[in-house]
Amino acid sequence: MAIAGSRLARVLAALAAGLALAVPAPASARAHGRGVPPRVHASREGSARAAGLSGAGALALRPYMGWDTYFAFGGAYSEATVLRQASELISLGLRRKGFRYVWLDVGWWQGARGAGGQISINRRQWPHGLAWLARTLHAAGLRAGIYTDAGRNGCGGAGEGSAGHYQQDVDTFAAWGFDAVKVDFCGGAEDQLIPAAAYAVFHAAIAASVPRRPMLLSICNFLQPGQYAEGRPGLGDSAFSSYMFGPSVGNSWRTNTDVGLPHHVSFSNVLRNMDADAAAPQAAGPGHWNDPDYLAPDQGMSAAQFRTQLSMWSILAAPLMISDDLSRITRASRAAVSNGEVIAIDQDPAGVQGTLLSTSGERQVWVKPLSDGSRAVALLNRGSARAPISTSAAAIGMPPGGGYVLRNVWAHTTRPSRGTISAEAAGDSTVLLRVSQTA
C-alpha cells in the first residue's frame, strides 16, 4: 500500500539522515567531447536477443518530468543524497505537479565489473543496493532512472559504458527495477560508433530485457558537427541529426550539446539549445520528444532567465528534468517549477511542439497550438533592454470573429483583446500567454 505523501517524505528524509555520507568521490565528470578521437564509424556491438520495443512510446505520451543529479551534484552523490532529493520532491509538492522521475546520471558507478561481466557497485555509495533504492522510490510514487554510455567508457571515466554488455546491463537495470535509462555518447565517440546503429541495438536490448521491463530510453548524443575537426563528426552523426532516427528507437533525443556544467549554466547556451531544438518540430509528438537538455535553476542564470528557459521548454514540448539541489532551491526557482499553468502548456495532450512565428531584432514570437483550440504564445526578449513585442490573433492561427482572452500564466492575470496580442518584456525575459477565443 502506498504511504501518504507527507509521511513518506518524512520516511525518506529519516532514511537519508541515517545513512553514511562519506562516499569516495568518483572521477570528475569530463566535459563532453574532451579527449575524444575525431572519427565516428559503425558500431560492431552484437545484436540483441530480440528486435522492436513494443509500446515504448506509451512510456512518454507527454514529455516526461522529474529530477536529475547532474547539474546539482556532478558525479559525486550517494544513496543518502538521492533519498534526500526524493524527499524534497514530495515535500515541495513537485511530485504532485508531475515531476516523478528520479534519475541517477553520471557518477552512480565507477566502471567495476565482476568476473562474469556484471556491474559491480560501490557498497559504500549504495549500502542497500540499487534494487532497494528503486523499490523505495516506487513506494514513494516516483520512478527511477539510470545512466550508461553507448561506448566502453562514460563521460565520468573509464569503463562506465555498456559496449560489449548492452544486453547484460539492460537486464541488470531491469532486475533492479529501473524505469528509464539515459545512454550518453562520450565512449561512443571514442569507440567510433555510429549513433543511429548503436542506439538501435540498445533499443532492441530493452525490448529483450530479462526480466521483461519496459524502460524509457533517453538518447544523449551531444556531438556538434565539426566538434573535433572539420567534418568530424559529420552532420549525420551529430546531435543535429538525431531526430531522424530518434523517434523509432527512443523516447527523447538530445538536439545539441549541454547547456553548461554543474553550477555554470549560461543563458546564451540555453538560447543556443532552444534554437537547435526548434529545427525539427515535426519529429516530436506523444511518445518521442526533442530534448534541449535539463532545466537548470540556480546554476548561474538569473530568476528571469530561468523563467525564460522554463517558458521556452514548455513551448517546445520538451522533457522537464530539474537539475538542482532541491534542499537549497531558491524561492523564485521553486515558484517557477511549481507553476501549474506553465507545466500544463508543456504537458498538453496534443503533444505539438511550438514553433517560431516571427523575429524582429532581439524580439521573437513563438506559438504552440493546444488541444482545446487555444494557443500558447511566448513573447521572448533575447536582448538586455525592455522592449514591446506584439502579434495578432490571426497571425497565431486563431479563428476570426468575436473577442479573445489573454491569460498571462506567469502573472496569473487575464485581459480581453479584440485581436491584438502585445506586451512589454524585460531583458532576457518571456511573457507567456494562453490565448483563447471568447464564447
CA-to-CA dists, residue 210 to 118, 132, 213, 215, angstroms: 14, 18, 7, 12
* Residue 184 among the catalytic residues: yes
What nine digits make up the cell of 392?
A: 495578432
Q: How far apart are CA 69 and CA 294, in angstroms?
A: 10
Is the Cα dihedral 239, 241, 242, 243 positive or negative?
positive
Distance between terminal CA atoms of the chain?
A: 45
Cis status of the peptide bond prior to 233, with omega within 30 of 0: yes
Q: Where are the beta strands (DSSP E) in 120-267?
A: 143-149, 180-184, 216-219, 252-254, 260-261, 264-265
Strands 101-103 and 143-149: parallel
The distance of Cα 104 from the centroid of its chain, to the nearest Å, equals: 12
How many residues are present in the chain?
A: 439
Q: How far apart are CA 59 and CA 55, in angstroms?
A: 8
CA nearest 267: which of 221, 230, 307? Answer: 307
Residues 6+ apart with CB under 8 A from 2: 8, 139, 141
CA nearest 233: which of 45, 44, 34, 41? Answer: 41
Catalytic residue among 68, 105, 179, 258: 258
* Residue 237 among the catalytic residues: no
What nine digits make up the cell of 159?
A: 569503463
Q: Within 13 Å and on the Cβ side, how many CA atoms surround 144?
A: 23
Yes or no: say if 73 and 104 are a contact pair by the CB < 8 Å rule: no
Per the DSSP assignment, residues forming a β-bridge with 407 are: 414, 434
**DSSP string spanning 296-324?**
-TTSSS-HHHHHHHHHHHHHTT--EEE-S
Catalytic residue among 68, 105, 149, 184: 184
Q: How far apart are CA 313 and CA 49, in angstroms?
A: 37
CA nearest 408: which of 342, 352, 364, 312? Answer: 342
Residues 6+ apart with CB under 8 A from 197: 42, 43
Q: How far apart are CA 283 and CA 236, in angstroms?
A: 16
Rounded to 5 degrees, φ, ψ at 405 are: -120, 125
Residues labelled as active-site residues: 184, 258
